[in-house]
Amino acid sequence: MDLWVIFLILAVLCAAIGIAVSANKPQPGTAGSDANIALVPIQPTEMQKGPSMPSESALPVQWDEIAITRQLDNLRGQPPAVVSHYVESVKERWVLNQNDKTAAVRARFLKTKIEELKLFKEGQQIAIDLEALALEREKRLKTLQLENAQLDATMRARGEREQMQALRERKQLELEIAKLDKEIRDLNAPAKIEAELTPEQKRQKEREASEAHMADLKAQKQEALKIPDEDERRLRVNAIDAALEREYERWARLL
């Protein structure tokens, strides 16, 4: 057989095989094409992922230093933003809304743990902020304690003044009572002494009293003579003269 005949037969066979393969291949848009191919979502690589922020569920339901220390240790190697986010969340929930003493202790605990675990590769701003917060709360607490101490001192001083005032009033009352007692004794003493005097002594005492009364009337008369109004002066002098005359008569009877 000639070579060209062989080549012709081979060409026909190749053409037949090509037509058969084309008939069995699915065409685009028909069943069994792209619709049957499962689409596999492309997962981002670790380098494409951003830092994962701790969720609120990562926070302890109550202040738990062991749980917080464990969570901080788990954040070792994370970017500073992740650590800062967790610390700020803990601070807002378990530090800022506490009393000054508790807030200062917890803020310093967080600062100490951050420094111990060496969580920050860049900067220590949050540690500085925590220390500032602790110092601020301690200052407020000390200020309050100082104000309380000053108030206590003021109250003690006020109490002492009130006690001294009460003592002074009591002593003053006792003094007034003592004076009244003395006056009562003095009022009762002359009657007792007079009961022991002889008739002559009594008459002498009455005469001395009469002489003193006349001396007082004479002094009153001298003052009355100085009255500018003539009618008033005359009435006043006449009344004193009449009293002097009566007192002279009484004095004469005591001689």
Question: pLDDT value at position 195?
Answer: 58
**Residue given tokens 């037949």 in the structure block:** 16
Question: pLDDT value at position 31?
Answer: 43
Question: pLDDT value at position 34?
Answer: 41
For residues 198, 199, 204 and 210, what is the CA-based torsion angle, rounded to 10 degrees?
130
Question: pLDDT value at position 30?
Answer: 44
Question: pLDDT value at position 132?
Answer: 78
pLDDT digits (tens, 9 = 90+) for 202-226: 888 888 888 898 899 899 889 888 8
Instruction: Kindly give the parts of the chain with pLDDT less than 70.
Output: 1-8, 11-12, 14-16, 18-58, 119-127, 189-195
Question: pLDDT value at position 137?
Answer: 77
Separation between Cα atoms, residue 198 and residue 204, nearest integer Å = 10
Question: pLDDT value at position 181?
Answer: 82
What is the value of pTM for the model shown?
0.33
pLDDT digits (tens, 9 = 90+) for 6-28: 666 776 676 667 666 565 555 54
Separation between Cα atoms, residue 212 and residue 218, nearest integer Å = 10
Question: pLDDT value at position 24?
Answer: 55
Task: Parse the chain into domains and list their residue ranges.
Answer: 56-146, 197-253
Helix (H, G, I), strand (E, B) or coil at 14: helix
Chain mean position to CA 105: 19
Helix (H, G, I), strand (E, B) or coil at 120: coil
Q: How far is CA 8 from CA 11, 17, 82, 223, in A?
A: 5, 14, 75, 181
Chain mean position to CA 15: 101
Q: Which two tokens stand for residue 127?
A: 């540690």
Nearest to 68 by CA among 91, 42, 98: 91
Question: pLDDT value at position 123?
Answer: 40
Separation between Cα atoms, residue 153 and residue 157, nearest integer Å = 6
Separation between Cα atoms, residue 238 and residue 152, nearest integer Å = 74
